[in-house]
Amino acid sequence: MSRRPVIAGNWKMHNLQQDAVDLTNGVMQSLREIDKAALPEVIIAPTFTSLYAANKALKDCGCGKVRLAAQNCYYEEKGAFTGECSVQMLKDTGCEYIIIGHSERRQYFGETDEMVNKKAKAILANGLVPIICCGESLEQREAGVTDYHIASQITKALRDLTAQEVAKSIIAYEPIWAIGTGKTCDSTEANRVIAMIRNVVKSLYDANTADSIRILYGGSVKPETIKEQMAQSDIDGALVGGASLKVDSFSQIVKGAM
């Protein structure tokens, strides 16, 4: 089965509204010569406060080459949850994808596997696509429990989802020690872990579902690393942090994934 590649830019807590508009326009401008069908699925994930402005820039351009994601959501529909945004609210702002379970949210904001699972259900119930993050710490890698840890994160994140829901979801494998450090995980090792994740999906569901789900690599992805990463059998794209904040590096990564 051929899976459409995905290049997603996680802007994290960067960019005021005007910066977000400029970056969005810059990315679209950099892709203007390329036929939409030749492009990977290109996704940008601004902060909550820039989603409206970025969505407006995307709409005004109308090229449909870049899609919008949020970096987080809450799983309840509405109510007394001060400071949170529901999936419906994010959908209303133009989001088609929502990143959940990022290691920074797990580490600094106490996001648990159970919350990731509830968020995944709410996202899928609203017709959006979850980008489910997983990844091991350096201590876990050195202790030899990487596969066990990742398999556990994925099994818990997918609990009670249907095969159809899982098939259209996206997983991002982001080793924590590779995030923001400049130390990219070796491509063959990233591919090995991602193939292991695909096997977990196969054992929980079936071969078709495992073949359909897109699994990305994240962690210090750069223009220089993307070709080798994309050449691997099981890596379907990248979740890019730092290099997604500049038009040049992000568009080079998008083009490198073609």
* Catalytic residue flag (residue 174): yes
- 3-class SS of residue 129: strand
Question: Exposed, middle or buried by CB within 10 Å (0-12, 13-18, 19+), for 152?
Answer: middle
186 binds ligand 13P (CB under 6 A): no
- Tell me the three state secondary structure of residue 172: strand
State the minimum distance, in angstroms, from the CB of residue 174 to ligand 13P.
5
- Give the shortest CB-137-to-ligand 13P separation in angstroms: 14
Token pair, residue 59, equals 């709409």
Among 242, 247, 254, 256, binds ligand 13P (CB under 6 A): 242
- Report, in angstroms and rounded to the nearest whole number, the Rg of the chain calculated over CA atoms: 17
- Closest CB to ligand 13P among 116 and 221? 221
Helices 187-204 and 146-157 pack at an angle, to 10 degrees, of 40
Q: Which stretch binds ligand 13P (CB under 6 A): 17-25, 107-115, 173-181, 206-214?
A: 173-181
Best CA proximity match to 169, nearest among 125, 204, 215, 136: 215
Which range in 61-69, 76-84, 155-163, 235-243 contacts ligand 13P by CB under 6 A? Answer: 235-243
Count of chain residues binding ligand 13P (CB under 6 A): 14
Q: Which residues sit at the interface with ligand 13P, rule CB under 6 A?
A: 10, 102, 174, 179-180, 218-221, 239-243
